[in-house]
Amino acid sequence: MDTQRTAVPSLPAQYQPGEVEQRRYEQWVAAGHFRASADSDKPPFTIVIPPPNVTGSLHMGHALDHTVQDALIRRKRMQGFEALWLPGMDHAGIATQNVVERQLAAQGLSRHDLGREKFVERVWQWKAESGGAILGQMRRLGDSVDWERERFTMDEGLSRAVQTMFKRLYDDGLIYRAERIINWCPRCLTALSDIEVEHTDDDGELVSIRYSDEVVVATTRAETMLGDTAVAVHPEDERYRHLIGTEVEVPLTGRMIPIVGDEHVDPTFGTGMVKVTPAHDPNDFEIGQRHQLPSLTIMDERGVITAAGPFEGLDRFEARPAIVAALREDGRIVAEKRPYVHAVGHCSRCRTTVEPRLSLQWFVNTTPLAQAAGDAVRDGRVRIEPAELAKRYFAWVDNMHDWCISRQLWWGHRIPVWYGPDGEVVCVGPDEQPPTGPGWRQDEDVLDTWFSSGQWPFSTLGWPERTADLEKFYPTSVLVTGYDILFFWVARMMMFGLYVMDGKPPFEVIALHGMVRDQYGKKMSKSFGNVIDPLDWIERFGADATRFTLARGANPGADVPVSEDWCQGSRNFCNKLWNATRFALINGANVGGPLPEPAQLSPVDRWILSRLQHVVAEVDEQFEAYEFAKICDTLYHFAWDDVCDWYVELAKPVLAAGGEPAAVTRRVLGHVLDQVLRLLHPIAPFVTDELWIALTGRETIQTAAWPVTEPTLVDDAAEAELVMLQRVVTEIRRFRSDQGLRPAQRVAARLDGLAEARIAGHEPLIRSLVRLEDGGPDFSASATLAVAGGVNVALDTRGSIDLAAERARLEKDRAAAEKEAAQARAKLGNPAFVDKAPEPVVNKIKDRLAVAEADLARIAAALEALA
């Protein structure tokens, strides 16, 4: 049995993660453990990383996202899958361009000073510097990504995918160019899609302006009146119906505009009259369309008034008060309300107030694509975890507006459309030559960054080519990301994937996690000063502790609160594993060969092996349900409570006694630790690998098989026996604690009733754990303690027992038992309960009553013995 015993390496008493982590990670990469091959016979398991913004650095949210993905990948790898975790980064068009523009601004330059070509070159330079930092952070986290497949959304291959996708959508009539009111950022000087606009409730000022005696309109944006081309009223509004078809003069401009009737107007709001500015408001634009109103653009792309007159050249926010002042002077202002809180859109990248602007842009007609994206989830081909979040997904895809994809930026994929001298428009595919000749020019704009990241699950695998990778690894298995980009990114990938991959959705499961928050549930923000850098934790507590802390808080779809205290707890847990393994090594734990025959196993061995089977089954279920918090909880308690606090403590006397029982225990201990380390490896890869190698002498835990349950090892009797043993031990310890008996102090005692409690065989163990010694033949008790399961302990402490304290304790226990018994009797005395409750429930109550009554009897006997 001891032949495979490993040499005892000298592990230090405390786990030092820093040294271990760097050494191990380089070994893992060098050994090629993270590489996946399309040629493999193993079934594929694929995750593509949500590509981080190339200019950013990884924050706690990434650490959470990566921990979850790495855990899934590592487990599948151990389960024998060809597991591919594909890394990469996103060029993040507008965000990246803004960063570089800010750098230029610090030198007093603008992108126009450099010109398009030089500017883009400059962004590539910045990408090279910044991207490297992210890759380094991923290594520190322990991400087992296939580095040979790292991709970037602006790579040649991915750019080819973008062009192919554009061309295909264009040819199918799903991409079109139109003049529309779009969200415009006057600072970034580009169009924004709906999702790039964030609404906040801002203070404004609502003024009512008298256009004529009968016409009074309200507005928060007085400056737009320079572009008014109508006033609208509800067609059914009795007050104003007679005005429809007449004209009114716009103050300050002298322009005559018609009054039209339009259903959009809410007669109950304000005066029930609306000024209509088709070029500067999306609603007004629609009203304009319906009534063939002209659109008067009164502002340039920077938000500066261009309408001729006294306000020309003023910024929109200067023009507003100036116009209000001028109107007031004219006596045109009839009412003012301020502050007036209303929703205002801001550029999500720079916070500038968005200006609705009439302009010519490219759009994707999302109607058929969004329909398919919704159906794939509705019909179960794609599962959203947690399922409740599917409602949000549907709310989005079922109400999707057409997607504005052109951006007036330089950093990104240029729109592959050429315009000819005679108004020709040619969309050019990746293998086609763009038209040449005088007068031809390419569209200046680039595509929305989500247009390329939306193709990530297949473009990274080689699409549009039908590569071996694409065949093997698409569709991907699970997409792990925060619920915050369910709309931005996930819905786009669904639309594109279904569209070009023969209706195959890009992933089987969408596993959503929440946002990382601080220990009070507050959002982490720089201004609040509660941001935690994952690298700081990795350095102080280790990557495993950081990962465990995040995973431990990760309930599906829910936000994840973290704090340094909790990370410290995780670090302590890693150290606990470390020391448990140290104990095992010192005591010659054996990890080779089959487990001993059942007949050789002690009840304690059978108990821990049985518990292990439950744990393996639970962890598997929890993994399948993405219940990371529960995985951590299960393993934490099994490793710490069952293995360390009970099994190891119970094993000590056995190991000390030596002989065959000790050999059996060494084998069981080795097995249990081996399995626990495997189960924990996906979450805490470093410490488990280090310990497993020390324990087994083998190369790495990464390729060790994932534990499977062994039903023959489930042993209910042994579990019941240990529960009783634990209760008795705990009760005796409580007595010792209550009595202030020093842990080292031995007490003479006689244990009565162990046979009735079916733990007679454990008497030596119990005595050893709670330091009770045999009183010998002339034993005479000075006190009696009633403990669980019919066990009484007769003690002789030579007069040092505080009888009053013990009596008080027993009285308290009796009160509790009486309450319990009374409750049970009341239930059983209720005919409705006995009649209607299911039988197991009734039996349970009967059992409970029996136990309570037995407890009462024991307590009474003990009290009598005290007296």
Partner RNA sequence: GGGCGCGUAGCUCAGUGGGAGAGCACUCGCCUUACAAGCGAGGGGUCGCAGGUUCGAAACCUGCCGCGCCCACCA
Residues 119-158 that bind RNA (CB under 7 A): none
- Angle of helix 564-586 relative to helix 685-696, nearest 10 degrees, comes to 0
**Cβ 460 to RNA shortest distance, Å:** 26
**Closest of 552, 581, 584, 578 to residue 565, by C-alpha:** 552
Q: Judged by CB, which is closer to RNA: 430, or 653?
A: 653
Report residue 751 as tokens.
Answer: 């244990």
Give min distance, CB of 237 to RNA, in A.
Answer: 10
Q: What is the DSSP letter of 403?
A: E
316 near RNA (CB under 7 A): no
Does 282 sit near RNA (CB under 7 A)?
A: yes
Give me the least distance between CB of 354 and RNA, in Å please: 10
Radius of gyration of the chain (CA): 37
Q: Which two tokens stand for residue 756?
A: 């009735």
Distance, CA of 485 to CA of 394 (rounded, Å): 14
Nearer to RNA, 171 or 179 (CB): 179
Site for RNA in 739-768 (CB under 7 A): 740, 742-744
Give, as ranges, the residues between 711 and 730 that touch RNA (CB under 7 A): 729-730
Q: 634 exposed, middle or buried (CB, 10 Å; 0-12, 13-18, 19+)?
A: buried
The sheet that has 783-786: what strands, in order across it? 772-774, 747-752, 792-796, 783-786
Contact between 688 and RNA by CB under 7 A: the answer reads no
CA distance 726 to 498: 57
State the minimum distance, in angstroms, from the CB of residue 385 to RNA: 13
Residue 474 is classified by DSSP as: -
Cα-Cα-Cα-Cα dihedral sign, residues 352, 358, 359, 364: positive
Query: Cα(first)–Cα(last) distance of the chain, in Å?
Result: 54
Hey, what amino acid is at 199? H
Task: List binders of RNA among 541-600 (CB under 7 A).
Answer: 553, 555, 558-559, 561, 565-566, 568-569, 571-572, 574-576, 579-580, 582-583, 586
Among the listed residues 106, 343, 599, 705, the single contact to RNA using CB under 7 A: 343
Tokens matching residue 291: 């009534």
Q: Interaction with RNA in 254-273: which residues (CB under 7 A)?
A: 264-267, 269-270, 272
Question: Closest CB to RNA among 431 and 649?
Answer: 649
Do the Cβ atoms of 520 and 487 come closer than 8 Å? no
Q: Which is nearer to RNA, 246 or 768 (CB)?
A: 768
Q: Is 289 in the site for RNA (CB under 7 A)?
A: no
Return the residue of 648, 677, 704, 810 that touches RNA, per CB under 7 A.
648
Of the pair 411, 623, the CB lying nearest RNA is at 623
Q: According to the binding rule CB under 7 A, does residue 274 interact with RNA?
A: yes
- Binding-site size for RNA (CB under 7 A) equals 98
Closest contact distance (angstroms) between CB of 571 and RNA is: 5
Angle at 62 between CA 57 and CA 64, to 5 degrees: 150
Instruction: Give me 550's structure tokens.
Output: 């995040």
475-514 mask for RNA (x: CB under 7 A)? ---------x--x---------------------------
Inter-residue contact 226 to 305 (CB < 8 Å): yes
Residue 356 sits at φ, ψ, to 5 deg, of: -65, 130
Beta strands in 538-617, from DSSP E residues, in sequence order: 560-561
Q: Does 734 engage in binding with RNA (CB under 7 A)? A: yes
Whole-number Å distance between alpha carbons of 680 and 686: 10
Q: Which is nearer to RNA, 388 or 431 (CB)?
A: 388
Q: Is 55 helix (H, G, I), strand (E, B) or coil?
A: coil
Given candidates 62, 127, 210, 275, which one binds RNA under the rule CB under 7 A?
A: 275
Nearest approach in angstroms of CB 515 to RNA is 9
DSSP state of 53: B
Q: Determine how many CB atoms are found less than 10 A away from the CB of residue 108.
A: 7
Q: Decide: 504 and 73 in contact? Cβ < 8 Å.
A: no
210 counts as binding RNA under rule CB under 7 A: no
Residues 791-850 that bind RNA (CB under 7 A): 820, 827, 830, 832-833, 836-838, 841, 844-845, 848
Tokens representing 251 are 């103050």
Is residue 199 involved in binding RNA (CB under 7 A)?
Answer: yes
* Contacts (CB under 7 A) with RNA, residues 67-96: none
CB of 625 to RNA, least distance (A): 10
Q: Which is nearer to RNA, 194 or 443 (CB)?
A: 194
Q: Where are the beta strands (DSSP E) in 460-521?
A: 476-482, 507-513, 516-517
Closer CB to RNA, 101 or 223, in the complex: 223
Applying CB under 7 A, the span of 403-411, 432-440, 442-450, 516-524 interacting with RNA comes to 516-524
Between 17 and 416, whose beta carbon lies closer to RNA? 17
Beta-carbon neighbour count of residue 245 at 10 Å?
10
Among 23, 102, 342, 746, binds RNA (CB under 7 A): 342
Closer residue to RNA in complex, CB, 13/30: 13
Total residues found in the chain within this entry: 867
**Is residue 291 close enough to count as binding RNA by CB under 7 A?**
no
520 lies in the binding site for RNA (CB under 7 A): yes
Residues 215-254 that bind RNA (CB under 7 A): 217-221
Residue 867 interacting with RNA (CB under 7 A): no
